[in-house]
Each structure stands twice: as structure tokens, then as C-alpha cells.
Amino acid sequence: MVELTLYGVDASPPVRAVKLTLAALNLPYKYVQVNVAAREQFSAAFLEKNPQHTVPTLEDGGNFIWDSHAIIAYLVTKYASSDELYPKDPLKRAVVDQRLHFESGVVFAAALRSITKLVRASIAVPQERFDAIVEAYDFVEKFLQDHEYIAGKSLTIADFSLISSISSLVVYVDIDQSKYAKLSTWMKKLQQLPYYEEANGKGAKIYIDSIRATKFTLAS
């Protein structure tokens, strides 16, 4: 019997990527909300689970895994009935892995996290932070040039990882459908997944609403 527990924060894009993967695999799990505002992630109990004190953290049978990319790859490898979401073919897997690294380094770290830190600290945002988001959109549009999904002809965990971050970035830079036709179509396609709203849509709205409430400004 599968006994999974996901520790997370609803607004977090990496947490939402894991939720999308769990939903796609139809895996039951317990969800534990971590109160990061109260620094619960630094408690002795949580540090025993994850010394890096990050979310998402997954518990599976007393074993703990953190980092969303590690978690979603693990879930598919262990529990999926096929390798469609994370192909075993070396070339196809390499493309998925590249997109995952792109999400973590370019989209999440350079574009999303960097601007979010400024906004949360009430610091006016320099133009270069918005430019980094536009650059991320440009790359994704190119990745989608010849196929429907981010890493090829079928849905993979790379799509889950990227949609969680990009659906958050829109609060800073809206997506121009005329300029980013492929990106816009891809987003709409993922939004039609039966589990999208529960796994990602609701959390993305929480994130977006919290950012809008800051009334962030552009540095002069």
C-alpha cells in the first residue's frame, strides 16, 4: 500500500509541480501544510526530515526526498505504469532533463525567485528582472516550435515543472498571445488537464494574489 506524505506550501511552484505529478499518476497522499511564515521548516522535527529545510519534501515509507525535480522523477520511476512521463530512452530523457534544469536555473531561480525576493522585501524591481522573465518566455516559445509539449510530442514531468513556474510569472509579465502563440497554446492545453485546477491553478492564484497585494513597483 502506497503511503506518501507531501510537505508543502500551496503557493509554491515546486510544490505544485509535485502535486501535478501525483495527480497524473493518480497516487493518494497526505498533504501537510508547512507554516513557513512561522519558520516551521526550521523546527527540529522538520530538519530531521530535510536538513535543507525546503519544500516540497516527500515522505515515502519513512524515507524523505526533497527538491521538486528529484521528487517528480522518483515518483514516475517508482510508481508509473509506463515511462511516458519520464522516458527511459536516453535521448528523450536527456531532453526532459535539460528542460528540468532550464526550469530550475533560468525560470525559477533567475526569473521567478529573484524578482519575488525583491517584491517581498518591498524593494523596487529593476528592469533587468522583468527582462529575465521575457527571456524565459522567449526560450519556452522556441522549445515549443516543433511540438505540442515542452520536451516532445507527449506530456512529461518537464511540463509539470515549467507550468508551475510560468503560471506564477504572469503576475509580473503578462504573456502576449500574438508574440507567444506556442506558449499560450501550451498553457491552455495543460489547463485542460482534469487535475490542473486542483493541483496547480488554485495555488497559482494564491501566489498571484499575494504578489498583487504588495503593489510592487519598477525601479526608476
Instruction: List, by residue number, the catalytic residues.
Output: 12
Please state, in angstroms and rounded to a whole number, the distance separating the CA atoms of residues 179 and 155: 23
Candidates 137, 90, 132; CA nearest to 112 is: 132
Strands, DSSP E only, in the chain? Answer: 4-8, 30-33, 57-60, 63-66
Please state, in angstroms and rounded to a whole number, the distance separating the CA atoms of residues 16 and 23: 10
* 130, 218 Cβ separation under 8 angstroms: yes
Cα separations in angstroms, 17 against 72, 135, 167, 199: 8, 22, 11, 8
